[in-house]
Structure 1
Amino acid sequence: MLKSDLAARLRPNFDDDRDADTFLLRLERYAADLVESLEAVYGEKTNTLLDGLLEVMIHAFHARPADLRQLDEARLLRPDWLQQPDVIGYVAYADRFAGTLRGVNEHLNYLEDLGISYLHLMPLLKPRAGENDGGYAVQDYRSVRPDLGTIDDLSALARDLRSRGMSLVLDLVLNHVAREHDWAERARAGEQKYRDYFYIYPSRAIPDAYERHLPEVFPDFAPGNFTWDDEAQGWVWTTFNAYQWDLNWANPDVFREFLDIILTLANRGVEVFRLDAIAFIWKRLGTNCQNQPEVHHLTRALRCCLRIVAPAVAFKAEAIVAPRDLIPYLGTRDHHGKVSDMAYHNSLMVQLWSSLASRDTRLFEEALRAFPPKPTNTTWGMYLRCHDDIGWAISDEDTARVGLSGAGHRSFLSEFYTGNYPNSFARGLVFQFNPATGDRRISGTAASLAGLEKALASGNAGQINEAVQRLLMLHAVVLGFGGVPLLYMGDEIAMLNDYSYERAPEHAADNRWVHRPRMDWNAAAAAASQPETPAGKVNAGLRHLIGVRQQTPHLHASIETKALHSPDPHVLLLRRDHPLGAMVQVYNFSEVPVHFPAAPLREALGESARELIGGHTYSFAPSYLKVEPYAALWFVQE
């Protein structure tokens, strides 16, 4: 129970008894978790910090608009809203999608028709001028990029999205701010309060001690993790780029600042926060300063505060880490299901491209088998690609279990997706080659990596058809795995690599812009009106898959997807055990038909089953089932 003296002290802050009861009941629900996590990080500073946090929370609670309060109540009655099969995500840069925030508003009919209910607009808070890491060097968290509009335009867009049943998703950069942020400006001016917001060292002694264990994120253009700053007269921690100053989350003032930012944006209508670079926010000497236990305490504490003020809002962890490190971002042990509501399933994305290149699903199967289950109240963010490059996060342990060399397979994938491997269908670019580790990450749109760019250039109708089939099969896995499928802008019309980035001085050094093209609205109209074209086939096929998914309760994200042993290495078998019955998905990752033994399907589903994508009933009485090239089959028990 909430201590009566605290409740009595807080109640006068509310004019309405119902508001007081609501706030205090929520506080009572989350107080223990909040205090436990704050104490784990801040120790004896917790009581002082908590007083400040309550002040921020009460102010935000009073400022929360009536329609968002109503959404809070609706989400409390339906806490699994983010796990429903009808949640379909779309990811875009606002300027590249529609020019401005008001322009995005003008294309909401397009998104609604596509089936989108979750819109992630890439970094749009005011970044530093010039180079800004694609918007991830934030100068002001309370303003929008001037070329996109105003913060009021953001609120208006969020309101219009809500009226259509769509949620606005926004990036929140937690690890660092731009060198031009007010906090950093004041730190350079000598204000000790703000110098304490960062890691600034007068000599190389401490930075060198840290560097012995730190990897380099961008070895090509941002080597090292510390940058000398003449104005600050010190070495500043800069994990990503010299102009991005890492924040000192060991300082409780930083926590309070970010809680205020989060609640302010939540009251503007943001419904999901993508917690960018969350893995990096806690520093510990002698480690790689990633995935430290304090990260999960900090996230849980922020989430508790959010649940008290704005329970309609969710957290998505941007933690592109190994599977053993990923589950804690959703919560383990006493944190189970209490950290972030959602996390990216980076491993699935990597294994999709791996199996597509090798035509072999055994590594995919092994990687999924080794993946620990998530809390049932959380969900995965599933994606075929994103704004970032593809890093080959394939473990040596997984490859060894299927008789492969980890380094050799990663090298093969880099060669294949740059098009250098014999008979490769892909057209990608190497991003950030690290000679020390041999890592070569890959840039490219889904369509170019899946072979459509090369096939269109050749004019070979058979190759074009195969590329279309590859794309639809890959999308089917993402849509069928069980989570929130995240469709990157332009993939619904199979947009190709955009090499014009090389002519833009601000983008030329970063080839990830090859897969961040501007939305081609003429191509979108053509795809809708010309279903016989490659883009039209991808668009129509994807829309059909989305429609089937939305009507399939077996895809509720609380259900775990498990890999079944496949008797044929070309074919991936996935199983989901829903209260309505088993669902088995069959995917052929090769360009050849497979005569697949029916026994595993018969064992899981019985003598026959309904296939949802094609809408037919299949009998498993024959010994073999013919699975066409790049086929995707979703079977459910009748």
Structure 2
Amino acid sequence: MPPVEHAGSNEGLDETPHGLANRVAQQLSVIYAGGELTPAMHALAVDLLKAMRLDDDMPQPNPYLNHWDQRDALMITYGDSIQQEGQAPLQTLKHWLDHHADGCITGVHILPFCPWSSDDGFSVIDYLQVNEALGDWDDILAIGAKYTLMGDLVINHCSSASQWFANFLNNEEPGKDYFATASPKDDLSLVVRPRTSPLLREVEAIDGTRHVWCTFSHDQVDLNFRNPEVLKRMVEIVRHYLDNGVRIFRLDAVAFLWKKPGTSSLNLRKTHEIVRLLRTLIEHARGDAMIITETNIPNQENLSYFGNGNEAHCVYNFSLPPLLLNTLVTGDCFYLKQWMMSMPPPQHGTAYFNFIASHDGIGLRPAEGLLSDEELQTLISTMRRFGGHVSYRALEDGQNKPYEINIALMDALQGTVAGPDEYGLQRFICAHAIMLGLEGIPGIYVHSLLGTRNDLERLEATGQNRAINRHQWQLEELERQLADPGSEHAQVFHGIKELLAIRQNQSAFHPNATQFTLHLGSTLFGFWRQSSDRRQSIFCISNVSDKAESLQLSDINLIEAQDWSDLISGEDCNKQQMLLEPYQTVWISNRRDHR
């Protein structure tokens, strides 16, 4: 992503009055020494700078620099989502990107590509190796040389099959004190987690019985960041990833990082300070490197990971998927509009990462406090009718609560609360048109880009709910589908590509351009975008219902002295009203920018 300077200056920024080592030592003191700047913190800071190959006299990067613009869009994919016999999947992925997505996709998030033992990659055995079933570091480098590469730093936990864990059990280094433990007698009643399995796993170590902390599964053992050696190891891994082309670090499940019995062990102060520390090290190592936090939690907690422009460059817009899905299956944008009006505009140097489908499910925690219990139950029931499944999390009282809906987005949008209908394709394209117009950087899951439906065979074979949306395409079959104009997959792919092509040329679609929510009733969802130079305005309006709706152009106050047209259809908008067909989106602009 090319750096784009906003209209401003570096005035007030601290260049290097104290040196980078001292700044890092101050951050470490918050984590490990109660805020006291001790010699041990200085020594640890020097070790971290050495691991990252940083000099003490490096200047402070400008935190208000945008590393993105409207041309940027990322595709989210597993390394083996597209396969060809006889070829490493990472090579097949690059081949497909080069031949089909070059020009519309500027970046790619390759989901965990290290050797793993469970959770489709999120239980890492060795952070410094590429899973040989996918390819090697040369394949990662080749993708990163052409596309902005996002990689997962699975920072909260690693595999029980790792050498670190074997060493932990044998009281050997590295690994001796690398994993979080607790006593069953500790007060763990307030701990928040997204699973229903027991939090503690009993293991027999060489020095006796231990109870290791497992936020997610008993194969995913939480790392012990109370031990500074674990932090040093993670920093070494970050440096290795930078050397191999990773430019965006997705901090997986980072909200759970610091554990403290008697608390929720979620979003603790020291967790935020570790994010700040990683930001300091990463942005000094590479001016174009970024952090994005993966925090599938309620909306306000999620937003806290922006910090004061000193934590994540981007946060996932986790509330968008359930709210947009609810809007399109009910035909009522009330809740989506209410949420939009509450969202603060990110300051320069930060941005929302917008997505509406992912390798996981459609999270329900980010909808807490935004959708009523009745709305959530209606949404869950509708998704079950469309072939979806529901995953649960445990509550303090021992009850289980729906945590996420597992379904392919193409199937999730096949109808409304009244049942399936003939508008599935239009509804699906509408969802993406809304996302692509919003402030923020878009991330499109590969199976949304390709219009992939529920993979029931994979679901049955694995017994894992999330497998329903983790199909693996054979390249030959995918090519055949995309070459057929009548194929649903081709229609989805080319429909989204056309929207991306339009978006890339409009300055009002810069991720940090002004955005205001419009009030057009319950069935017309709209918002206004304006470029930073105020030369371009775009009114993004979607009919979210299955009935044609009339848009009174006087309701959006188009300036009469300017010519207005729909960027998508090319239709002239210098008239009193427009008729929007079911799920039609218009991007009404006073100019069509071209680069």
TM-score class, shorter = 0.7 to 0.9
- Amino acid in the other structure paired with 2:220: Q
Distance in 1 of aligned mates of 2:38 and 2:560: 54
Distance in 2 of aligned mates of 1:616 and 1:308: 48
* Contact 2:193-2:393 at 8 Å conserved across structures: no
Q: 1:143 aligns with which of 122, 129, 132?
A: 129
Q: 2:116 aligns with which of 127, 130, 137?
A: 127
Q: How many residues align?
A: 562
Higher percent of residues as helix: 1
Distance in 2 of aligned mates of 1:320 and 1:452: 26
Residues 283 and 562 of structure 1: CA distance in aligned 2, closer, same or farther (over 3 Å):
farther
* Contact 1:278-1:317 at 8 Å conserved across structures: yes
Q: Aligned residue for 1:432?
A: 392
Q: Aligned residue for 1:411?
A: 377
State the shift of 1:32 in Å: 6.2
* Contact 1:588-1:631 at 8 Å conserved across structures: yes
The secondary structure found in structure 2 opposite 1:235 is strand
Show the 5 A alignment for 1:231-246.
Answer: 231=205, 233-246=209-222
- Amino acid in the other structure paired with 1:237: W
The secondary structure found in structure 2 opposite 1:139 is coil
Distance in 1 of aligned mates of 2:560 and 2:481: 37
Residues 363 and 502 of structure 1: CA distance in aligned 2, closer, same or farther (over 3 Å):
closer
Residues 150 and 53 of structure 1: CA distance in aligned 2, closer, same or farther (over 3 Å):
farther
The secondary structure found in structure 2 opposite 1:125 is coil
The secondary structure found in structure 1 opposite 2:557 is helix
Residues 109 and 535 of structure 1: CA distance in aligned 2, closer, same or farther (over 3 Å):
same
The secondary structure found in structure 2 opposite 1:562 is strand
Q: Does 1:449 align with 2:412?
A: yes
Q: Aligned residue for 1:468?
A: 425
Q: Aligned residue for 2:192?
A: 215
- Amino acid in the other structure paired with 1:595: S
Residues 259 and 216 of structure 1: CA distance in aligned 2, closer, same or farther (over 3 Å):
closer
Q: Does 1:574 align with 2:527?
A: yes
Distance in 2 of aligned mates of 1:581 and 1:106: 36
Distance in 2 of aligned mates of 1:446 and 1:114: 24
Q: Aligned residue for 1:6?
A: none
Residues 274 and 581 of structure 1: CA distance in aligned 2, closer, same or farther (over 3 Å):
same
- Amino acid in the other structure paired with 1:374: P
Residues 450 and 33 of structure 1: CA distance in aligned 2, closer, same or farther (over 3 Å):
farther
* Contact 2:63-2:309 at 8 Å conserved across structures: no
* Contact 2:507-2:536 at 8 Å conserved across structures: no
In angstroms, what is the RMSD of aligned CA positions? 3.1
Q: Does 1:594 align with 2:549?
A: yes
List runs of 5+ in structure 2 lacking aligned partners: 1-13
Residues 520 and 78 of structure 1: CA distance in aligned 2, closer, same or farther (over 3 Å):
farther
State the shift of 1:57 in Å: 3.1
* Contact 2:25-2:44 at 8 Å conserved across structures: no
Q: Does 1:536 align with 2:490?
A: yes
Q: Aligned residue for 1:552?
A: 506
State the shift of 1:123 in Å: 0.8
Give CA deviations for 1:412-447 in whole Å, capped at 9, x if unaligned: 10001111xxxxxx3322233769254263111111
Q: Aligned residue for 1:69?
A: none
* Contact 1:277-1:318 at 8 Å conserved across structures: yes
- Amino acid in the other structure paired with 2:105: I
State the shift of 1:590 in Å: 0.9
Give CA deviations for 1:163-201 in whole Å, capped at 9, x if unaligned: x3x111111111111112232221111248844322224
Residues 603 and 619 of structure 1: CA distance in aligned 2, closer, same or farther (over 3 Å):
closer
* Contact 1:123-1:135 at 8 Å conserved across structures: yes
Distance in 1 of aligned mates of 2:124 and 2:389: 28
Q: Aligned residue for 2:79?
A: 94
- Which moves more between the two structures, 240-249 or 370-379? 370-379
* Contact 2:391-2:402 at 8 Å conserved across structures: no
Q: Does 1:204 align with 2:184?
A: yes
Residues 382 and 257 of structure 1: CA distance in aligned 2, closer, same or farther (over 3 Å):
same
State the shift of 1:77 in Å: 12
* Contact 1:343-1:380 at 8 Å conserved across structures: yes
Question: Identity over the aligned pairs, expressed in percent?
Answer: 21
Give CA deviations for 1:448-467 in whole Å, capped at 9, x if unaligned: 1111899xxx9x9xx44x11
Q: TM-score, normalised by structure 2?
A: 0.87
Q: 2:198 aligns with which of 185, 206, 224?
A: 224
Q: 1:617 aligns with which of 562, 569, 572?
A: 572
Give CA deviations for 1:47-104 in whole Å, capped at 9, x if unaligned: 43443443443454389xxxxxxxx99x9899423x2111111111112223522333
Q: TM-score, normalised by structure 1?
A: 0.81
Residues 53 and 311 of structure 1: CA distance in aligned 2, closer, same or farther (over 3 Å):
farther
Residues 290 and 46 of structure 1: CA distance in aligned 2, closer, same or farther (over 3 Å):
farther
Residues 284 and 606 of structure 1: CA distance in aligned 2, closer, same or farther (over 3 Å):
farther
Q: Aligned residue for 1:37?
A: 27
- Which moves more between the two structures, 119-128 or 270-279? 119-128
* Contact 1:323-1:372 at 8 Å conserved across structures: no
Q: 1:626 aligns with which of 554, 579, 589?
A: 579
Distance in 2 of aligned mates of 1:560 and 1:36: 36
The secondary structure found in structure 2 opposite 1:544 is helix
Q: Does 1:61 align with 2:53?
A: yes
Give CA deviations for 1:355-413 in whole Å, capped at 9, x if unaligned: 011110011111111223323211221112000011223656444xxxxxx11111110
Q: Aligned residue for 1:178?
A: 159
State the shift of 1:523 in Å: 4.7
Q: 2:441 aligns with which of 475, 478, 484?
A: 484
Give CA deviations for 1:579-629 in whole Å, capped at 9, x if unaligned: 224322101111111123333312688775232112233025x2x432221
Distance in 2 of aligned mates of 1:26 and 1:94: 41
Q: 1:260 aligns with which of 227, 230, 236?
A: 236
* Contact 2:51-2:235 at 8 Å conserved across structures: no
Q: Aligned residue for 1:387?
A: 359
- Amino acid in the other structure paired with 1:481: L
